Amino acid sequence: MALHLSTTLTDKVSQEDGEEGRNYFWPLENLGTRQSEIRLCENAPVRRLPRGIVQAIDESRILGIRAGTRSEHRFTGVWPVVVERRVFVRSWTLKPGGWYGTFLEDPRGTIQIDGREIRVRAVRVRSERLRDAVEDAYAAKYNTPASRKYVRGFRAARRREATIEFVPR
């Protein structure tokens, strides 16, 4: 469960409005005396890649990524996995000048799938639950004898910490 700092009030939409239970967010600056209210919202909206893109990535064994917007990086092939309709990758080498190190300095980049280029932002994954799910997804997707060495290697602590999610920018 992700918690996001929110300076907004939330209201549930009534049944007459058509989408009962869906949360909408209003900025506090428009509410006069409540401007100083700050609280944690566990259901803040999160941007996701379009379903068609996620499905294409899920069906693909290689995803092209270009890290950073100010770098001279070319597209590099990485192994993507999809968990909860979210796209994740892990770095194998963790070199400072590699794609992972570049994303740490500049989280903006581009992914390439089915001849399309999609601008993304790389977000480090801190949730142990998600990291475990990513490991399971790697084991299920990359199950050939030649892949097993890398799937086992992705379980190493330093590589677990290098789990990245791609979200749209």
Q: pLDDT digits over 97-138, tens only?
A: 899 999 999 999 999 999 999 999 999 999 999 999 999 999
Sequence-distant (≥ 6) Cβ neighbours of residue 125 within 8 angstroms: 88, 131, 134, 163, 164, 165
Q: β-pairing, 8-12 with 23-27?
A: antiparallel
pLDDT recorded at residue 45:
58
pLDDT recorded at residue 96:
83
pLDDT recorded at residue 47:
81
Q: Is the pLDDT score of 162 beyond 70? A: yes
CA distances from 120 to 1, 111, 156, 166 (A): 22, 7, 26, 6
Q: Terminus-to-terminus CA distance in the chain, angstroms? A: 22
For 140-144, what is the mean pLDDT? 97
pLDDT recorded at residue 46:
67
Q: Is the pLDDT score of 70 beyond 60? A: yes
What residues does each domain of the chain span?
A: 4-41, 51-168
pLDDT per residue as tens digits for the range 3-44: 343 333 333 333 333 333 444 343 434 434 443 333 334 444
For 156-162, what is the mean pLDDT? 96
pLDDT recorded at residue 8:
36
As a whole number of angstroms, the distance between CA 90 and CA 95 comes to: 13
The token pair that represents 65 in the structure block: 């990524």
For residue 60, report the phi and psi dihedrals to the nearest 5 degrees: -95, 150
When the candidates are 2.30.300.10, 2.160.20.10, 3.80.30.20, 2.30.110.10, the CATH number that belongs to 51-168 is 2.30.110.10
Q: Is the pLDDT score of 156 beyond 90? A: yes
Q: State what percent of residues in the chain have pLDDT above 90.
A: 66
The token pair that represents 166 in the structure block: 């791609």
Lowest mean pLDDT among 44-48, 58-62, 133-137: 44-48
Gyration radius from the chain CA atoms: 19
pLDDT per residue as tens digits for the range 72-101: 778 999 999 999 999 999 999 998 889 999
Amino acid at 29: E
